[in-house]
Amino acid sequence: MKTLGDVFDDQCRRSPDVPAVVSGATRLTFADLHRWSAQLSLTMAPHVSPGQRVALLLPVEAALAAAAVAVTRVVGVVAPLDTASPVPELTAQLAELDPAALVTDADGVASAIAATSDLSQPPALVLLHAGEADVIERRATPARALSSDDSPPLLQLVAHSPGHRGHVVRSHARVLAEWKALRDALDIEAGDRILGCSGFHSTLFAALCAGVTFYAGQTLPPREVLALLEREDITVLEGVSPLFATLADLPGRGKNDLRSLRVVVSSRAPVAGAEASAFHRRFGLSLRQVYGSAVSVVR
């Protein structure tokens, strides 16, 4: 049975020089990500046993992809966290997850340290930087491990919102099937360039599993999103309702060349009919609404 790591390795062998993730001025190929994830798995291996959770406090871009693949290489359970969560919420999430390790970057390290300071059994803290990884704190006692009839163990998608924490644990086969369904729902084709603006991490992994380029746009202001759509000939835009409303209202109507853009998808919250109509009038494109791996068209 293939794991996320297996599928990723296959893509790296097929297209090592293809850009995998673009974030600002950083452009990493599949080969770059492969090297980073391999190095991270070596750093993580002494601290993570099979079936133990590894929490990822990382933005939806290259670091998250490298860390998730690295966790599967050491047969750990991937547990992504929301970087926008306040420290008390992160502390509560980590107390429930009981991860063997917490992986973060320079932007998240202060929150990670604050969130783990009151835990009776804090996880090992792994800091990512410039394609490398360092363990800056170690866990004193073993963490809980999950088990499954599906071998190797599991991937965990942690859906958190204020006041509600849902731990959705699935096998590799199930998650890969869902990402393939999402890829089909997004009509992802070879050579696509996907701009992800919602923080929906499944879009990142669906792109990587398909061997196409993912552009990280969650923190970009709308004007920069529009400029990036033109400059990079983006073919698939994935975002949220407020972004589409703002893009439709930006000045410069009729001056934008979005001829490469063929699929626009809203994830998370539904798009109001008025917003969808305004976007269609401005850009001539209908909005699709993705619910999990299902898709509908909003006109």
Whether 42 and 164 map to the same domain: the answer is yes
93 or 193: which leads in pLDDT? 193
Whether 138 and 229 map to the same domain: the answer is no
Whether 211 and 100 map to the same domain: the answer is no
Instruction: List CB contacts of 84: < 8 A, sequence separation 6 or more.
Output: 199
pLDDT tens, position by position, 209-248: 889 999 999 889 999 999 999 999 999 999 988 899 999 9
d(CA 89, CA 288) in angstroms, rounded, equals 32
Q: What is the CATH number of the domain that holds 275?
A: 3.40.50.980
Whether 44 and 110 map to the same domain: the answer is yes
Q: Is residue 5 domain-resident?
A: no
Task: Identify which of 65, 43, 56 has the alpha carbon closest to the alpha carbon of residue 83.
Answer: 56
Is the pLDDT reported for residue 126 higher than 80? Answer: yes
CB atoms within 10 A of CB 168: 10
Q: Is residue 7 domain-resident?
A: no
Whether 267 and 188 map to the same domain: the answer is yes
Whether 109 and 199 map to the same domain: the answer is no
Whether 166 and 181 map to the same domain: the answer is no
Q: Is residue 3 domain-resident?
A: no
Q: What integer is the mean pLDDT of 25-40? A: 92
Whether 73 and 87 map to the same domain: the answer is yes
Instruction: List CB contacts of 142: < 8 A, sequence separation 6 or more.
Output: 49, 52, 100
Whether 179 and 150 map to the same domain: the answer is no
Residue with tokens 């990493």: 28
Whether 166 and 55 map to the same domain: the answer is yes
Burial 280-292, CB ≥16 within 10 A → b, else e: bebbebebbbbee
- Please check whether residue 109 is in contact with residue 133, taking contact to mean a CB–CB distance below 8 angstroms: no
Q: Is residue 12 domain-resident?
A: no
Q: Is residue 118 domain-resident?
A: yes
pLDDT tens, position by position, 44-90: 999 998 888 899 999 878 888 899 889 988 888 888 888 888 999 89
pLDDT tens, position by position, 164-187: 555 666 777 777 887 888 888 778
For all residues of the chain together, what is the average pLDDT?
84
Provide the domain limits for residue 152. 30-170
Whether 166 and 283 map to the same domain: the answer is no
Strands 294-298 and 287-291: antiparallel
Q: Which of 170, 191, 206 is the last residue of a domain?
A: 170
- Please check whether residue 17 is in contact with residue 31, taking contact to mean a CB–CB distance below 8 angstroms: yes
pLDDT tens, position by position, 263-295: 998 876 778 888 889 999 999 999 888 755 444
Is the pLDDT reported for residue 148 higher than 90? Answer: no
**How many structural domains does the chain have?**
2
Q: Is residue 24 domain-resident?
A: no
Q: Is residue 53 domain-resident?
A: yes
Whether 164 and 80 map to the same domain: the answer is yes
Q: Is residue 6 domain-resident?
A: no
DSSP 179-196: HHHHHHHTT--TT-EEEE
Q: Which of 153, 170, 187 is the last residue of a domain?
A: 170
What pLDDT is recorded for position 186? 79
Helix (H, G, I), strand (E, B) or coil at 128: strand
Burial 131-145, CB ≥16 within 10 A → b, else e: bebebebebeeebeb
Is the pLDDT reported for residue 132 higher than 70? Answer: yes
- The confidence band for 118, taking pLDDT boundaries of 50, 70 and 90, is confident
Q: Which of 170, 199, 228 is the last residue of a domain?
A: 170
